[in-house]
Amino acid sequence: MARKYLERIHFVHLRSTQPDPSTGNFIEATHLTGRGYVPRLVEFFEKEGAPQLPFRVDHGRCMLGDEKRGYNPGYSFFGRMHALAEVMGMISMVHKNE
């Protein structure tokens, strides 16, 4: 889908989900896990697609006391910084392996 609509994509908002076996709904997954393979998307956009596209990580996990700071679910500071580090690491590996 990314390849098909590449010319219409101006911004990449990365997220991955996994099924919740108890309800059948989905829950947020880390950017390195889940059923959406984010590392492959990063590789596509950096190598084959458009490396100038801005990336935005989606929700982060609550960690290091974020759950006590009143953040809306998924928008914790440390969790989103962790997600950003994961994506920056993916981008770094794509360029290192060129």
Q: pLDDT digits over 32-61, tens only? A: 887 878 888 888 888 876 667 787 777 766
Beta bridge partners of 12: 55
Task: Please give the mean pLDDT across all residues of the chain.
Answer: 80
Distance CA 34, CA 2 (A): 18
For residue 62, the model assigns a pLDDT of 65
Termini Cα distance of the chain: 24
pTM, 2 dp: 0.72
